[in-house]
């Protein structure tokens, strides 16, 4: 990429401004970036009466990448179908930027294996990627209510399924190059009940013919939900439609013990800017207290460097720095509670110490330096 990368920053609501500000410090330690701050989500509703303005969408389209904090909160919760909601901004961004593929890597940090609700031996070796279709399905179908009757329509075209399937198969190939494992795609559907799922399975099967080196398995979504917690290390790339992917990616996220550790990337056609954001929510209950976990945002910035700005080496530096501070025992409050807190052992001699957003950021910056 020529010149200084242009990044639109959407800090959003709740802890969003805190964690994005911390991520900017990490990025600035790696090079020069041009930032353009814009409003999206609840803060945009307060300022403009809508979660996403046309001007902000256009700014995102013309940027090199978009970094998002978090949106939403009780202040804007409503059951009124005509009232603006922060989440509409996120859906509008995905649709308006053509971001049809959401990538969520799930790899428990070695220092946090005790944080998982599953036994350590069950999650050992887990390193999977959820590839979720973002712009089709029930979230974007016709919906409405007539008295006591409501409907939400799920629609998919063969073209939409084909392009997300190829994203998943390509990702499996790339992962195999670095891991040495045989590439595998697990396609999730409900083909025993839903016509959209039967089309999904048919199209994914056709695409697989162009990737003979990649193993393909089909799982019904209810079975996939069980297998994710019973044998997570057996998964490589999990391919899913919008609704199922939304649910399964959050389930897979808890294998790590904390949503505060997981990044994501939303990508479109080659050359189009991507959207990079932590998986967790806006956590309004801790906003402004200086205790928010910034690590998922740091890892999202790493995904932005790798997938959006072609700076893989810098991405790897952030990821290594995050692992290093966790190995040293530093924990934000979300990681230093319950079963996460462990006394020093011969295998993990560093005692755990609870820190806030500022100290965790300073520790990562020190590792980068």
**Catalytic site residues?**
139, 190, 222, 246, 250
Q: What CA dihedral angle connects 57, 287, 72 and 257, to 10 degrees?
A: 100
What is the rounded CA–CA span in Å between residue 364 and residue 27? 11
3-state DSSP: the chain helix, strand, coil percent, rounded to 5? Answer: 45, 20, 35
Question: How would you class 32 by CB atoms within 10 Å of its CB: exposed for 0-12, middle for 13-18, buried for 19 or more?
Answer: exposed
According to the 3-state scheme, what is the secondary structure of 158-177?
A: HHHHHHHHHHHHHHHHHHHH
Q: What is the DSSP string of 233-246?
A: GG-SEEEE-HHHHH
Q: Which residues contact 8 (CB under 8 A, 6 or more apart)?
A: 35, 36, 37, 38, 56, 59, 60, 63, 65, 66, 67, 273
CB atoms within 10 A of CB 50: 15
Rounded Cα distance between 147 and 264, Å, is 38
* Collapsed DSSP state (helix, strand, coil) of residue 105: strand
Cα distance between residue 168 and residue 186, in whole Å: 9
The Cα diameter of the chain in Å comes to 64
Give the separation between CA 116 and CA 124, rounded to whole angstroms: 11
User: Could you give the C-alpha distances from 104 to 227, 249, 253, in angstroms and in order?
Assistant: 18, 7, 9
Tokens standing for 258?
Answer: 């904390």
Comparing C-alpha atoms, which of 86, 77, 69 is closest to residue 17? 69
- Give the list of residues 6+ apart from residue 339 with CB closer than 8 angstroms, or none: 114, 115, 117, 257
Residues 6 or more apart whose Cβ sits within 8 Å of residue 155: 136, 137, 140, 141, 196
């Amino acid at each position: 990429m020529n010149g200084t990368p242009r990044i639109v920053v959407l800090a959003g609501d709740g802890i969003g401004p805190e964690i994005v500000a911390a991520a900017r410090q990490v990025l600035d330690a790696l090079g020069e970036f041009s930032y353009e701050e814009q409003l999206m989500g609840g803060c945009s509703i307060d300022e403009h009466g809508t979660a996403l303005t046309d001007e902000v969408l256009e700014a995102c389209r013309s940027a090199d990448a978009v970094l998002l904090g978090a949106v939403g909160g009780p202040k804007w919760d409503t059951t009124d179908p005509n009232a603006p909601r922060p989440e509409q901004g996120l859906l509008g961004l995905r649709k308006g930027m053509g971001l049809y593929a959401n990538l969520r890597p799930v790899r428990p940090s070695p220092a946090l294996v005790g944080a998982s609700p599953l036994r350590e031996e069950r999650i050992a070796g887990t390193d999977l990627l959820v590839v979720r279709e973002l712009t089709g399905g029930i979230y974007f179908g016709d919906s409405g209510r007539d008295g006591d009757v409501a409907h939400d329509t799920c629609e998919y075209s063969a073209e939409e399924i084909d392009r997300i399937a190829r994203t998943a198969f390509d990702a499996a190939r790339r992962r195999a190059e670095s891991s040495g494992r045989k590439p595998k795609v697990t396609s999730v559907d409900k083909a025993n009940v839903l016509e959209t799922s039967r089309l999904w399975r048919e199209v994914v099967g056709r695409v697989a013919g162009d990737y003979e080196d990649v193993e393909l398995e089909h799982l019904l979504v209810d079975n996939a939900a069980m297998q994710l917690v019973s044998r997570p290390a057996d998964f490589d790339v999990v391919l899913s439609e919008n609704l199922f992917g939304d649910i399964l990616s959050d389930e897979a996220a808890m294998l790590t013990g904390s949503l505060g550790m997981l990044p994501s990337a939303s990508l479109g056609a080659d050359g189009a800017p991507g959207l990079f954001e932590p998986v967790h929510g806006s956590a309004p209950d801790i906003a402004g207290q200086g205790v928010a976990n910034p690590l998922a945002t740091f890892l999202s910035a790493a995904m932005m460097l790798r997938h959006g700005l072609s700076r893989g080496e810098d991405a790897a530096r952030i990821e290594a720095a995050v692992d290093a501070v966790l190995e040293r025992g530093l924990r934000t409050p979300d990681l230093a509670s319950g079963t996460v807190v462990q006394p020093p052992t011969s295998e993990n001699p560093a005692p755990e110490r609870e820190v806030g957003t500022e100290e965790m950021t300073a520790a990562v910056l020190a590792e980068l330096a």
